[in-house]
């Protein structure tokens, strides 16, 4: 009987103490949904981009983020102060960032064609979006969301991308990357 | 001793409780969003993405009663024709009348020449302007269909007078979605059928072609006395589609199909219209469409088609031709408004010959119709409350222009939607109703029906309301109510003394209906979809009871359906459709039970085997004098 009790206590001890400790000790496995990660990226990316004078978010002004499906990102912007970010549904005026999420391919192409020369940080989520001219694209690699930067699209939009972002993201080189 | 034992038990229980809460806290900590919020850009790149497939998908966001059948729904129904797939939709009355004839109706109308709703195939109307019927047996092979959208209720403000009680929109797979080779073989107690399809891509142009041939015996359908089913149905069908998508904003598509069939028509499926004879039919069409996206939910679309049909109704035979074109523009959201408008026209001409028992005044007739519509979606509250204002003008090629307006309200919440609608609709007469005469049987007597060239439009004011709810991620509900107020519906008035009958706009009345659907994914291998459709009709003629094909009758009709979709093994499916139906327009026809089953086995990545069983319920009439018996077919689909 005592052996059984000892075994039960050992199992409980392992479950409570060793299991979480081992997971924390070995580096906790962080997970998020794709939409949540996209929202977190957007909130950070604006620090690595410089807009042409008079077109970016001014001091003390919120950064206006538009999305083609704003509803999907809204839960992850609800805790952010409205003085920092304001999420709106595309189409909208006075926008600094445009996230092309959930739009059909041809509609995304039409939007990106129209906004190509506007001072807008456009963010896509497919290789097609990159070809169509987004400045930054999300790419799934090994179950993780990585970044691709399109310097030509940034030039067209008049945006300056920080060297740090260019260092940690993959650079899209047009047709060379397509091959 | 007792005290020690109690103390020990207390310690163990306390430890268990502490462990439970510690586990809870540790899991909660592991899932905390604060961890993510503190991460830098580089650290975000190390976060693993978890699927959000269990996340609730948006509801339909349509201010109307809409059902969409996707490829999987159609496959699991075991449908071998499009009409059979439509049985999945509540509120749709689908019955097999004969070997090659199906009656499909919406909200109370149901007949072979069911002339109150519109059927579109890739945007092209396939409802015949001659008879207002659809030759369901010759539409398109089921394996080519990607999606079927069924709109119940009045949508004439967008689709015009043909869509009096609803719209059935059949969308076929694109050429890019039908690449490679496919062989579909069907064999069983109903007959045999073989289809070959091949598709490929050259540069960025995708194309496909198919050909099918089939023979159906008609043996599983029987009649009493002189009634007999149509036999020896031989059918050939073929088609092509070429799609060019330039990977930017435009897409161009060219497609065409033909179907030729021959059948020994027993004329018992609907004694009112058809006569026994060998009936040959042919139809073919070509269509070109161009679409350009101009923004989010915005674009321009142009479509034009030519359709040629050789038909025989009663002993009238002849050819009909239709040339149509339409242009649609959907503007991007501008402030509170999202505007959509469109223009369309149709030129229709025919050469129909009179027969021994049927007479048509003008053997050649030319008709030009045109229309225009506009709809504005006004956002009253962002992501929550929308007002739809729309209207369509229809010019029927005679003297009148009809206005068909609608006003709709849609309220969306996180897990529910509510909608209200009031609409006015009209329905113009068909070529067959316009001039001439034909013979029909009524109460055992043969009458000659005269169709004057002076019928006015049938009219309807519809009041609708609906509610959709996502109870949990796995349980969805959809409820819709309607009151249809009819006026000047066409009906046949009989003169017993003279054995003649005349078509007049003399019917009026109301229909009150409710449709309820529940979609419950119980677990990974079981999905249940029960539905109920009830309609109470109070329809009155001036002096007579309603009569004529597809006339709504007084009283309560109902349909109860239960679809059970199961997947006991990874590659094995077993699905059942059970139902009980009472006809909305054949008052003296008793209700009947139906039971259909579909088993599928994905034997390999390229081979699918299906066993399809139909009409396992009682052998009974499905709104026609013929009895539809059981049948079993094997279908083999091989991709190569």
Select the residue of A34, A109, A111 nearest B49 (Cβ to Cβ): A34
Task: Give the C-alpha separation, B122 to B57, whole Å.
Answer: 26
What residues in B contact A147, CB-CB < 8 Å?
45
Q: B383–A111: do the CB atoms touch at under 8 Å?
A: no
Residue among B1, B9, B52, B295 with most chain A CBs within 10 A, to mutate: B295
Mapping DSSP to helix (H, G, I), strand (E, B) and coil, where does residue B605 land? coil
Which pLDDT score, from 0 to 100, does residue A12 have?
A: 47
* Same domain, yes or no: A17 and A83: no
Predicted confidence at residue B375, as pLDDT, reads 95
Answer for the pair A149, A165: CB distance below 8 angstroms, yes or no: yes
pLDDT bucket at B318, cuts 50 / 70 / 90:
confident
Nearest-CA distance B5 → chain A (Å): 12
Distance CA B162, CA A110 (A): 33
Note the helical H segments in B371-470: 431-434
Distance CA B477, CA B586 (A): 30
Residue of B nearest to A32 (CA): B49
| pLDDT tens-digit map of B468-523 | 999 988 999 999 999 999 998 888 777 878 888 888 888 888 999 999 999 999 99
Q: Say which residue, B383 or A111, is predicted with more confidence.
A: A111
In sequence order, the β-bridge partners of residue B353 are B317
pTM of the model: 0.84
Three-state SS annotation for B240-299: EEEEEECCCCEEEEEEEEEEEEEEEECCCCCCCCCCCEEEEEEEEEEEEEEEEEEECCEE
Positions of chain A with pLDDT lower than 70, given as ranges: 1-29, 175-179
- Residue B185 is predicted with a pLDDT of 97
More confident residue, B29 or A148: A148
Same-domain status, A104 and A65? yes
Q: Are residues A49 and A86 in contact, defined by beta-carbon separation less than 8 angstroms?
A: no
Tell me: pLDDT of B460 over 90.
yes
| Rounded Cα distance, B238 and B634, in Å | 22
A22 lies in the same domain as A85: no
* pLDDT band, very low/low/confident/very high, at B295 (cuts 50, 70, 90): very high
Q: What are phi and psi of A34, to 5 degrees?
A: -60, -45
All structural domains of chain B, each given as residue ranges with its CATH number in brackets, are: 65-639 (2.40.170.20)
- What is the C-alpha separation between B5 and B7, in angstroms, rounded? 5
Query: Using H for helix, E for strand and C for coil, what is the string for B120-161?
Result: EECCEECCCCCCCCCCHHHCCCHHHEEEEEEEECCCHHHHCH
- Kindly report, residue by residue over B219-257, the tens digit of the pLDDT: 888 887 777 788 899 999 999 999 997 768 999 999 999
Return the closest-CA partner of residue B504 out of B513, B495, B515. Answer: B495
The per-residue pLDDT for range B557-592, each reduced to its tens digit, is 889 999 999 999 989 999 999 988 877 666 666 778
Tokens of B494: 């009989």
User: What's the confidence (pLDDT) of residue B398?
Assistant: 65
Tokens of B231: 């036999």
Chain B: closest CA distance from residue A27 (Å): 11
Q: Does the beta-carbon distance from A105 to B247 stay under 8 Å?
A: yes
Q: How far apart are CA B489 and CA A24, in angstroms?
A: 75
User: Distances from the Cα of B69 to the Cαs of A146, B10, B53, B89, B301, in angstroms?
Assistant: 36, 59, 20, 8, 24
Cβ-based neighbours of B180, under 8 Å, separated by 6 or more: B198, B199, B200, B639, B640
CA B387 to centroid of chain Cα atoms = 26
DSSP label at B118? E
pLDDT tops 50 at residue B29? no
Least confident of A118-122, B204-208, B379-383, B439-443: B439-443
How many pairs of residues across A and B have Cβ atoms under 8 Å apart? 130
pLDDT digits (tens, 9 = 90+) for B251-278: 999 999 999 999 888 777 655 555 677 8
Rounded to whole angstroms, the Cα distance separating B356 from A93 reads 70
d(CA B307, CA B637): 30
| In a shared domain, residues A52 and A82 | yes
Residue B23 distance to chain A (closest CA, Å): 6
The answer to whether residues A161 and A104 belong to one domain is: yes
E-state strands within B335-474: 337-353, 364-381, 385-395, 401-412, 416-427, 436-442, 445-451, 458-472
Task: Compute the distance between CA of residue B598 and CA of residue B462 in angstroms, rounded to an integer.
Answer: 37
Do A110 and B39 make contact, defined as CB atoms within 8 angstroms? no
Domain of residue A154, residue span: 34-178
pLDDT band at B167 (very low <50, low <70, confident <90, very high): very high
Q: Give residue B51's pLDDT.
A: 63
Alpha carbons B468 and B412: distance in angstroms, whole number: 9
Question: Could you give the number of structural domains in chain A?
Answer: 2
Position of tokens 């490829």? Answer: B71
pLDDT value of position B231: 87
Planar angle of CA B143, B96, B492, nearest 5 degrees: 130
- Do residues A103 and A172 both lie within one domain? yes
Number of separate helices (H) and strands (E) present in chain A: 9, 10
* Number of Cβ atoms within 10 Å of the Cβ of B145: 22
Mutate to test the interface with A, among B48, B329, B379 (most CBs of A within 10 A): B48
A75 and A140 housed in the same domain: yes
pLDDT confidence of residue B31: 45
Tell me which chain A residue has its CA closest to the CA of residue B335.
A92
Instruction: Collapse the DSSP code of B27 into the 3-class scheme (helix H, G, I; strand E, B; otherwise coil) and give the result.
Output: helix
Distance CA A34, CA B51 (A): 8
In the predicted model, what is the mean pLDDT of chain B? Answer: 84
For residue B354, give the DSSP letter: -
At B467-480, the pLDDT tens digits run: 999 998 899 999 99
Number of helices followed by number of strands (H, E) in chain B: 7, 35
Distance CA B150, CA B478 (A): 14
Assess whether pLDDT exceeds 60 at residue B424.
yes
| CA-wise closest residue to B253 among B207, B299, B201, B308 | B207
How are beta strands B572-581 and B620-621 bridged, if at all?
unpaired
Nearest CA in chain A to B246: A106
Sign of CA dihedral A55, A56, A57, A63: positive
Is the pLDDT reported for residue B554 higher than 90?
no
pLDDT average, residue stretch B607-611: 97
Please write the tens of the pLDDT for every residue from B81-112.
Answer: 999 999 989 888 888 888 888 888 888 877 66
End-to-end CA distance of chain A: 69
Closest CA to B421 of B441, B402, B404, B401: B404
- Residue B19, pLDDT score: 45
Residue-level pLDDT at B26: 43
What pLDDT does B498 receive?
Answer: 81
How does residue B24 score in pLDDT terms, banded at 50, 70 and 90? very low
Lowest mean pLDDT: which of A19-33, A47-61, B119-133, B387-401? A19-33
* Bridge pairing between strands A97-99 and A121-124: parallel
- Looking at the structure, tell me whether residues A53 and A11 fall in a common domain: no
- The pair of structure tokens assigned to B463 is 């009041």
At residue B180, the 3 state secondary structure works out as strand
pLDDT, residue B620, reads: 64
Quick one: pLDDT at residue A21? Answer: 42
Helices marked H in A90-171 — which ranges?
105-115, 127-132, 151-157, 163-168
Question: What are B453's two structure tokens?
Answer: 């060239």
Residues A4 and A55 in one domain: no
Nearest CB neighbour to B44, from listed A5, A28, A41? A41
Give the three-state DSSP class for B111. Answer: coil
pLDDT at site B451: 74
ipTM of the prediction greater than 0.90, yes or no = no
Tell whether the torsion through CA atoms of B537, B539, B544 and B547 is positive or negative: negative
d(CA B599, CA B591): 27
Same domain, A41 and A23: no
| Burial environment of residue B486 by CB neighbours within 10 A (0 to 12, 13 to 18, 19 or more) | buried
Whether the Cβ atoms of residue B206 and residue B156 lie closer than 8 Å to each other: no
SS3 B162: helix
Question: Kind and range of the H or E element at B76?
Answer: helix B71-77
Which residues, including other chains, have CB under 8 Å from residue B269's CB and lie 6 or more apart?
B97, B98, B101, B112, B229, B230, B624, B625, B626
Cα separation, B187 vs B491, in Å, equals: 42
pLDDT (0 to 100) of residue B199: 97
Q: Is the domain of A61 the same as that of A144?
A: yes
A93 and A171 both lie in a single domain: yes
pLDDT at B566: 95
Can you list the alpha helix ranges (DSSP code H) found in A14-104?
Answer: 19-25, 34-45, 70-73
Q: In chain B, what residues touch A9 (CB-CB under 8 Å)?
A: 12, 15
Cross-chain residue pair B249–A31, CB shorter than 8 Å: no
Q: Coil, strand or helix: which one is B91?
A: coil
On the 0-12 / 13-18 / 19+ scale of CB atoms within 10 A, B47 is: buried
The pLDDT, as a whole number, for residue B543 is 56
The pairing of beta strand B555-569 with beta strand B364-381: unpaired
Chain B residues whose beta carbon lies within 8 Å of the beta carbon of residue A32: 36, 47-50
Inter-chain residue contact A106 with B291, CB threshold 8 Å: yes
Residue length, chain A? 179
Of A34, A36, A107, the CB nearest to B295: A107
């Amino acid at each position: 009987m005592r052996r059984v009790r000892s075994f039960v206590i050992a199992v409980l001890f392992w479950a409570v103490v060793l299991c979480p400790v081992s997971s924390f000790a070995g580096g906790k496995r962080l997970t998020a949904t794709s939409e949540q990660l996209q929202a977190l990226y957007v909130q950070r990316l604006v620090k690595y981009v410089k807009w042409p004078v008079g077109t970016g978010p001014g001091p003390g002004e919120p950064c206006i983020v538009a999305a083609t499906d704003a509803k999907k990102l809204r839960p992850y912007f609800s805790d952010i102060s409205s003085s920092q970010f304001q999420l709106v549904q595309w189409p909208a005026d006075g926008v600094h960032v445009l996230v092309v999420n959930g739009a059909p391919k041809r509609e995304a192409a039409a939007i990106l064609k129209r906004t190509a020369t506007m001072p807008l940080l456009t963010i896509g989520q497919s290789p097609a979006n990159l070809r169509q001219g987004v400045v930054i694209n999300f790419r799934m690699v090994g179950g993780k969301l990585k970044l691709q930067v399109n310097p030509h699209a940034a030039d067209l939009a008049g945006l300056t991308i920080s060297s740090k972002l260019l260092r940690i993201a993959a650079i899209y080189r047009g047709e060379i990357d397509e091959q | 001793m007792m005290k020690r034992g109690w103390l020990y038990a207390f310690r163990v229980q306390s430890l268990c409780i502490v462990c439970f809460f510690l586990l809870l806290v540790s899991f909660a900590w592991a899932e905390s969003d604060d961890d993510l919020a503190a991460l830098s850009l580089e650290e975000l790149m190390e976060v693993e993405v978890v699927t959000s497939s269990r996340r609730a998908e948006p509801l339909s966001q349509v201010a109307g009663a809409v059902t969409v059948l996707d490829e999987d729904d159609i496959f699991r129904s075991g449908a071998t024709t499009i009409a059979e797939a439509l049985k999945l939709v509540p509120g749709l009355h689908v019955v097999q009348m004969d070997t090659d004839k199906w009656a499909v109706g919406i909200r109370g109308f149901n007949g072979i020449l069911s002339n109150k709703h519109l059927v579109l195939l890739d945007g092209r109307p396939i409802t015949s302007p001659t008879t207002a019927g659809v030759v369901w047996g010759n539409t398109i092979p089921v394996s080519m269909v990607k999606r079927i959208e069924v709109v119940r209720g009045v949508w004439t403000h967008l689709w015009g007078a043909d869509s009096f009680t609803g719209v059935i929109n059949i969308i076929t797979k694109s050429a890019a979605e039908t690449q490679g080779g496919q062989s579909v073989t069907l064999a069983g107690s109903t007959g045999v059928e073989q289809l070959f399809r091949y598709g490929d891509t050259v540069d960025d142009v995708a194309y496909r072609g198919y050909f099918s041939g089939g023979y159906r015996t008609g043996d599983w359908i029987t009649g009493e006395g002189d009634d007999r089913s149509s036999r020896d149905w031989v059918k050939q069908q073929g088609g092509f589609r070429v799609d060019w998508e330039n990977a930017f904003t435009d897409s161009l598509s060219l497609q065409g199909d033909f179907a030729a069939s021959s059948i020994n028509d027993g004329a018992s499926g609907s004694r009112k219209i058809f006569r026994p004879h060998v009936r040959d039919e042919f139809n073919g069409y070509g269509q070109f469409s161009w679409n350009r996206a101009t923004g989010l939910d915005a674009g321009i679309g142009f479509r034009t088609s030519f359709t040629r049909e050789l038909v025989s109704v009663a002993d009238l035979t002849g050819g009909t031709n239709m040339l149509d074109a339409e242009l649609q523009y959907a503007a991007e959201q501008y402030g509170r408004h999202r505007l959509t408008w469109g223009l369309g026209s149709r030129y229709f001409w025919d050469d129909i010959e009179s027969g021994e028992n049927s007479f048509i005044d003008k053997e050649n007739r030319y008709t030009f119709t045109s229309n225009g519509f506009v709809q504005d979606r006004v956002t009253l509250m962002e992501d929550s409350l929308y007002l739809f204002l729309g209207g369509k003008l229809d010019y029927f090629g005679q003297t009148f222009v009809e206005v068909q307006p609608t006003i709709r309200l849609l309220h969306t919440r996180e897990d529910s939607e509510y909608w209200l609608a009031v609409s006015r609709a009209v329905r113009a007469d068909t070529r067959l109703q316009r001039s001439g005469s034909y013979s029909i049987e009524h109460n055992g007597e043969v009458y000659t029906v005269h169709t004057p060239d002076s019928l006015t439009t049938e009219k309807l004011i519809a009041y609708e309301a609906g509610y959709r709810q996502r109870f949990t991620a796995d349980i969805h509900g959809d409820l819709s109510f309607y009151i249809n107020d009819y006026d000047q519906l066409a009906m046949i008035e009989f003169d017993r003394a003279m054995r003649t009958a005349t078509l007049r706009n003399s019917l009026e009345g109301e229909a009150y209906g409710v449709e309820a659907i529940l979609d419950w994914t119980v677990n990974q291998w079981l999905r249940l979809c029960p539905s109920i459709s009830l309609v109470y009709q109070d329809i009155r003629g001036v002096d007579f009871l309603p009569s004529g094909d597809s006339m709504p009758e007084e009283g309560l009709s109902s349909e109860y359906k239960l679809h059970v979709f199961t997947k006991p093994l990874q590659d094995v499916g077993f699905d059942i459709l059970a139902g009980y139906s009472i006809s909305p327009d054949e008052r003296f026809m008793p209700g009947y039970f139906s039971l259909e089953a579909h088993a599928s086995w994905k034997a390999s990545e390229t081979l699918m085997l299906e066993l399809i069983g139909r009409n396992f319920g009682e052998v009974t009439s499905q709104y026609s004098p013929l009895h539809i018996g059981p049948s079993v077919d094997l279908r083999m689909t091989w991709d190569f």
